[in-house]
Chain A
Amino acid sequence: MATKHSRSAARLMMAPAVILLLGWMLVPLIMTLMFSFKKYLPLRGGDLGWVGFENYVRFVSSSAFWPSVGATLTIVGGVLLITIFFGVLLAILLNQPMWGQGVVRILVIAPFFVMPTVSALVWKNMFMDPVNGLFAHLWRFFGAEPISWLSQASLPSIVMIVSWQWLPFATLILLTAIQSLDGEQLEAAEMDGAPPLKRFGYITLPHLSRAITIVLLIQTIFLLAIFAEIFVTTGGAFGTRTLTYLIFQRVLESQNVGLGSAGGVYAIILANIVAIFLMRIVGKNLDA
């Protein structure tokens, strides 16, 4: 249906968005690249000249680098696993007939409305505080020693906080997908005597694959960039320093913009590796 006329019109219409995003990507990217080859210390006079690849070498040779990549992948992976696993279960449950489904749905999606800063503050202080937190009260009630969550179980705690924020999203996408599942097919399978687990494995799960891909894609994009949750809770201590946080420390805490920019370039490379990997799976699924 595409005529020559509409093709050029289409290009014209795409132009503003593409140009804007290109600018938004290129201008900071070029500046980051430039800084990354410089000794740039705002507190010591700013631009102190070109230093070649020194910042790049220094950034990876720091003892903090590989642990930070590990922490990033742990958090992203952990949250994805938890939200998808519980998302599927919750979606199946919410799809069953029940009273007050609408209200339950609102309760479940509510965490998504909460600012990351607020949710981190609330979890850190009102739940995970080892003295006054609700968990501490609960633990003491059962005669147990309260856990100092953010130091003794720092990564799991952060994974939990972030999962709480993103579970609504996963649940809703999966719920919408399940609702479009053909009930007759399931019923037929039930008649044929297929056990529930088999029905789930052969009918429900394949049907959900596209939705799961979407969850994977969108969440990864947002999770690679999480910052507030770490800034508020541990400040990067106890092994929770992600790559994003390490860059933050280099740029703002150490005020070493050159070094931080080199880190930024590494982060972009990591993001692109993840992106290519994701696009491989998503690309196929997106056409459907």
Chain B
Amino acid sequence: MARAVTQQRKIINTTAAWGIGLLIFFPILWTILTSFKTEATAIADPPVFLAFDWTLENYSAVMERSNYARFLWNSIIIAGGSTILGIIVAVPAAWSMAFVPSKRTKDILLWMLSTKMLPAVGVLYPIYLICIKLGVLDSRGALVIILMLMNLPIIVWMLYTYFKEIPGEILEAARMDGATLKEEILYILTPMAIPGIASTLLLNFILAWNEAFWTLNLTAAKAAPLTAFIASYSSPEGLFFAKLSAASTMAIAPILILGWFSQKQLVSGLTFGAVK
């Protein structure tokens, strides 16, 4: 009897969860499907789901018009570069906060987070002028630095919460054995922190990938990433749903695929390491 009940409940749970999951995923699915339709089918009433003539013409049109590979490469470099650089800067800071906490540690941490609340557009002109002065407009380097600074508070905070979970006794034992600070970090802390670092890396890679204000406003031809690629397909003249869908799919596919393959790290990354 009890088994039957659980079995029944399991079926109900499964149906409900899948239903809601598909509902949440639907906009993405619909975008992907639309990208294989012709422009006319894309707006057909009633809408067609699967029974249409699948076509790749939107993808070839997009590929012909824009240098997708370059946008993609810029996105990878900018998102990857800023995340890695951020982690290099953040690891020591997070380490000291986690293992040598002082009265002000929490204040510093919260202050760092609060810097994220400044409205970016308010400082567009100052930053733009600085970039001109330094001659780094439309360069990937400038964006790597700016996005690194933007995400640094999140990175520090995530690493801090991960590091705090590492028991201090292990470090103490190592210190007794005469390990130097450098060895301590390199050989003991880092291996233990790798899962946390991986999660941090992934999450911030996604945040940097999706950043659309600075990447759009500080680039022209050379350093423009996928956010700029999208801006050339939104609201042109005439019908555009299918081509927009193709471009959108191309812009989000790398991240979706990455997410699929690193689900576990990502899930723990998405919790910002804050919840065990």
Contact = CB atoms under 8 A, between A and B. Distances in A.
A contacts B directly in the complex (CB < 8 Å)?
Answer: yes
B126 A20 contact: no
B135 interface: no
Nearest to B127: A28
Contacts, number: 286
A244 B117 CA distance: 11
Interface residues of B, number: 92
Of B16, B17, B102, most buried by chain A (CB within 10 Å of CB) is B17
Contact of A113 (B95, B181, B255): B255
Interface in B114-165: 114-127, 130, 149, 152-153, 156
Interface string A85-129: 000001001101111111111111111111111110111011100
Contacts of B251: 115, 118
Interface in B219-276: 226-227, 230-231, 234, 240-241, 244-245, 248, 251-252, 255-256, 259-260, 263, 266-268, 270-272, 274-276
A4 to B, nearest CB: 11
B45 interface: yes
B46 A251 contact: no
B43 A132 contact: yes
Tell me whether chain B's interface is mostly helix, strand or loop, or mixed.
helix
Tell me whether chain A's interface is mostly helix, strand or loop, or mixed.
helix
Contacts of A119: 27
B272 A218 contact: yes
Interface string A230-274: 001000000000011001100110000100110111011001101
A14 B98 CA distance: 11
A145 to B, nearest CB: 15
Nearest to B184: A6
Interface in B47-94: 47, 89-90, 92-93
B118 A214 contact: no
A105 B275 contact: no
A118 B248 contact: yes
Of A97, A104, A134, A275, most buried by chain B (CB within 10 Å of CB) is A104
A167 interface: yes
B248 A121 contact: yes
A93 B16 contact: yes
B210 A107 contact: no
Contact of B119 (A17, A21, A106, A247): A247
Contacts of A6: 99-100, 181
B123 A164 contact: no
Given A172-B267, A210-B275, A264-B118, 19 more contacts: A14-B93, A17-B89, A17-B90, A27-B126, A28-B126, A106-B260, A109-B259, A112-B270, A114-B210, A114-B252, A118-B252, A134-B30, A137-B46, A173-B272, A176-B275, A225-B119, A247-B122, A271-B114, A282-B110
20 contacts: A7-B102, A14-B93, A25-B118, A31-B123, A42-B125, A93-B13, A97-B6, A106-B259, A115-B210, A116-B212, A126-B30, A167-B24, A168-B270, A173-B270, A180-B275, A211-B274, A224-B117, A225-B117, A275-B110, A283-B106
Interface of A: 1-2, 6-7, 9-11, 13-14, 16-18, 20-21, 24-25, 27-29, 31-32, 35, 42, 90, 93-94, 96-119, 121-123, 125-127, 132, 134, 137, 140-141, 164, 167-169, 172-173, 176-177, 180, 210-211, 214, 217-218, 221-222, 224-225, 227-228, 232, 243-244, 247-248, 251-252, 257, 260-261, 263-265, 267-268, 271-272, 274-275, 279, 282-283, 286-287
Interface of B: 6, 9-10, 13-14, 16-18, 20-22, 24-25, 27-28, 30-31, 34, 43, 45-47, 89-90, 92-93, 95-97, 99-102, 106, 108, 110, 112-127, 130, 149, 152-153, 156, 168, 171-172, 181, 206, 209-210, 212-213, 226-227, 230-231, 234, 240-241, 244-245, 248, 251-252, 255-256, 259-260, 263, 266-268, 270-272, 274-276
